[in-house]
Amino acid sequence: MAEFEPKILAFCCNWCSYAGADLAGVSRFQYPPNIRIIRVMCSGRVEPEFVVKALSLGADGVLVLGCHIGDCHYIYGNHRTKKRMAILEKILGYLGIDPARVRLEWISAAEGRRFADLVTEFTEEMRKLGPNPLKKEVIA
């Protein structure tokens, strides 16, 4: 059997992280192709339900990427995200899903290198964690 390739979903905010991902591409930094990016206007738009939905539809890991605290285009959008994700991690832990599968990181528009490094590192981590146990539960 072929080696397990994790599927990773990333929610990138329009103003910083998506631009950071774009910079990584423009600068030709190499990173694994396991990542699929969904652009959202703000990381505050990412409801924890989105993350759970992604996990239950078979994503092995979910990245939520936003602007650094203080840099949010909508002033306090990422404050919300940070608080939500803290609670989300707790609930996932209680439900038996490894909270390491979900990660919140801040990527600015200038941090193309960091984006590439993060995706590389996260992909490796998910590869070690193995397939998402919720995958079997897929209900279309």
Residues that bind another protein (CB under 8 A): 48-49, 52-53, 56, 69, 76, 79-80, 82-84, 86-88, 90-91, 93-98, 133-134, 137, 139
Q: What CA–CA distance (Å, rounded) separates 36 from 74?
A: 24
Given the complex with another protein, which of 32 and 133 has the nearer CB atom? Answer: 133
Given the complex with another protein, which of 1 and 139 has the nearer CB atom? Answer: 139
Given the complex with another protein, which of 33 and 93 has the nearer CB atom? Answer: 93
What is the side-by-side order of every strand in the sheet holding 35-40?
35-40, 8-13, 61-66, 102-106
Question: Residue 68 to residues 14, 51, 108, 123: CA-CA distances in angstroms?
Answer: 13, 20, 6, 22
Greatest Cα-to-Cα distance within the chain, rounded to the nearest angstrom: 48
Neighbours of 27 (CB within 10 A): 11
- Min dist CB 98 to another protein, Å, is 6
- Min dist CB 23 to another protein, Å, is 27
- Min dist CB 24 to another protein, Å, is 28
- Min dist CB 113 to another protein, Å, is 27
Q: Are 43 and 28 in contact (CB under 8 A)?
A: no
Given the complex with another protein, which of 121 and 137 has the nearer CB atom? Answer: 137
Rg over CA atoms, the chain: 15
